[in-house]
A and B are shown apart, each in its own frame.
Chain A
Amino acid sequence: MDNSMKFEFPAKSENERFARTVCAAFVVQLDPTLEELDEIKTAISEAVTNSIIHGYENSEGIIEISGQIKDNIVKYIIKDKGCGIDNVEKAMEPLYTGKPESERSGMGFSIMEAFMDGLEVESAKGKGTTVIMTKRISNNE
């Protein structure tokens, strides 16, 4: 199996559902379990929401998502051109949030890490953020 996709959309909260649904639909060709689909939807939702509220701070911007499938591994790349992250290591610590006043739990990166097999974050202040996640689909045949 070898496939790819790419789409982009404005950073509006209405699009969170759209983005995770498209990402879940893309991986269906690998015949994932319902649990794997839920994990992917949740991880994508976390990354996209972060781009909207932290990257673009709820103002205008474009989020780009691309996906690749190679054998039974799916890879998603979520990219924003927002404010970027000063200290990625600190941002990824469990329960850390840059916005404690707005009921953020600080669990986004922990969820991405727990639900996917690979997580990489490339970011720098003012340079935007790219989140790369991979997951091996069990292929229950």
Chain B
Amino acid sequence: METMLIAKHRMIVMKIYGEIDHHAAGGIRKELEKEIKRTGAINIALDFGNVTFMDSAGIGVIIGRYKTVRSLGGNIIIYDASDQVIRLLEMAGISELVIISNTLQNGIRKMNSFKI
């Protein structure tokens, strides 16, 4: 995974590679929590373009970070996710909590339209 900060949007963008299961989930959680503390960001954008598999451990990580950013007044964007991932997000009801979009730009646009 790679993370970067978009200061203008107080947003951490994390690019995740490969398979999100229980084995990978802990590292993703730690990195996101660390970066939020370090940068003072309140929003998280997750680039799912290179995620080839996800199970309920990924749902746990997303719900956990959702709680973190909500307590800060921020949002989560998930973009460029596969059909398999989107189906799981919908099953878990996460698609109602987070912003799901095809690109980061569209996700940010949706996020800003919420705030008006």
Q: Is the CB of A52 within 8 A of B56?
A: no
Q: How far is the CB of B29 from chain A (nearest CB, A)?
A: 7
The B3-45 residues at the A interface (CB cut-off 8 A) are 19, 21-23, 25, 29
Q: Which of A38, A45, A103, A111 contacts B21 (CB 8 A)?
A: A45
A49 located at the interface, meaning its Cβ lies under 8 Å from any Cβ of chain B in the complex: yes
Q: Is the CB of A16 within 8 A of B60?
A: no
**Closest Cβ neighbor of B54 among chain A residues:** A42
Q: How far is the CB of A19 from chain B (nearest CB, A)?
A: 10
Q: Is the CB of B23 within 8 A of A14?
A: yes
The A2-48 residues at the B interface (CB cut-off 8 A) are 13-14, 16-17, 20, 35, 38, 41-42, 45-46
Size category of the binding interface on chain A: 20 to 34
Q: Is the CB of B88 within 8 A of A105?
A: no
Report how far A49 CA is from B91 CA in the complex, Å: 19
B57 located at the interface, meaning its Cβ lies under 8 Å from any Cβ of chain A in the complex: yes
**Would A111 and B22 be within 8 Å (CB), given that A42-B88, A103-B60 are in contact?**
no
Q: Is the CB of A49 within 8 A of B60?
A: no
A104 located at the interface, meaning its Cβ lies under 8 Å from any Cβ of chain B in the complex: yes
Interface residue total, chain B, C-beta cutoff 8 A = 21
The A81-123 residues at the B interface (CB cut-off 8 A) are 103-105, 107-108, 110-111, 114
**Closest Cβ neighbor of B83 among chain A residues:** A35
Q: Is the CB of B55 within 8 A of A111?
A: yes
Q: Is the CB of B55 within 8 A of A49?
A: yes
Between A and B, how many residue pairs show CB distances below 8 Å? 57
A73 located at the interface, meaning its Cβ lies under 8 Å from any Cβ of chain B in the complex: no
Report how far A111 CA is from B64 CA in the complex, Å: 19
Report how far A104 CA is from B88 CA in the complex, Å: 15
Report how far A114 CA is from B90 CA in the complex, Å: 13
Q: What residues of chain B lie closer than 8 Å to A107, measured between beta carbons?
A: 56, 59, 91-92
A53 located at the interface, meaning its Cβ lies under 8 Å from any Cβ of chain B in the complex: yes
- 26 A-B residue pairs with Cβ-Cβ distance under 8 Å, sorted by A, are A13-B21, A13-B23, A14-B23, A16-B21, A16-B22, A17-B19, A17-B21, A20-B53, A38-B84, A42-B53, A42-B54, A42-B88, A45-B21, A49-B55, A49-B57, A52-B22, A103-B25, A103-B61, A104-B56, A104-B60, A107-B56, A107-B59, A107-B92, A110-B91, A111-B55, A111-B88
